[in-house]
Amino acid sequence: MDHSFSDDAIIFKAFCDENRLQILFLLGSGEKCACKLLEHLNIGQPALSYHMKILVESGIVEARQEGKWTHYNVSGDARSRTTDIISKYIASCGSDDAKSCCGG
């Protein structure tokens, strides 16, 4: 198998928390300053920093510094990357490899 499971897991980790999903929803309408994100979330600044670190490390979100605040935006290729990854796993459900290991 030539899958990069560890790289894929980083992407899936970015999506497996309700706060991170809410952040992505908020960023869906465009770039937001961390201060604006905090206005809409029921978390403090340290928690936001933790979640943003995961989202940025996954490559789904990009960050840029402006003064004392960081501004975040969904990366340009986030949609295609995540769609490709999900499609890869859904497509593998019917493959011969999946059938042989899962008794299909």
- The CATH number for 70's domain is 1.10.10.10
Share of the chain above pLDDT 90, in %: 62
Residue with more model confidence, 104 or 4: 4
Q: Is residue 12 part of a domain?
A: yes
Q: Is residue 104 part of a domain?
A: no
The mean pLDDT of 25-44, rounded to a whole number, is 96
CA distances from residue 31 to 53, 71, 72, 74, 92 in whole angstroms, order as listed: 16, 7, 5, 7, 35
Q: Structural domain of residue 84, as residue ranges? A: 5-92
Q: What is the rounded CA–CA span in Å between residue 39 and residue 1?
A: 45
User: pTM of this prediction?
Assistant: 0.80
Q: Is residue 101 part of a domain?
A: no
SS3 label, residue 51: helix
Neighbours of 61 (CB within 10 A): 22
Q: Is the predicted pLDDT of residue 101 greater than 70, yes or no?
A: no
The mean pLDDT of 4-8, rounded to a whole number, is 86
**The two three-digit tokens of residue 48, written as one number:** 């936001």
Q: Is residue 17 part of a domain?
A: yes
Backbone angles phi, psi at 14, to 5 degrees: -60, -30
Q: Is residue 63 part of a domain?
A: yes
Q: Of 6-15, 57-66, 86-95, which range is least confident?
A: 86-95
Q: Is residue 98 part of a domain?
A: no
Per-residue pLDDT, 31: 96
The mean pLDDT of 60-81, rounded to a whole number, is 92
Average pLDDT, the chain: 88
Task: State the total domains in the chain.
Answer: 1
Q: Is the predicted pLDDT of residue 16 greater than 80, yes or no?
A: yes
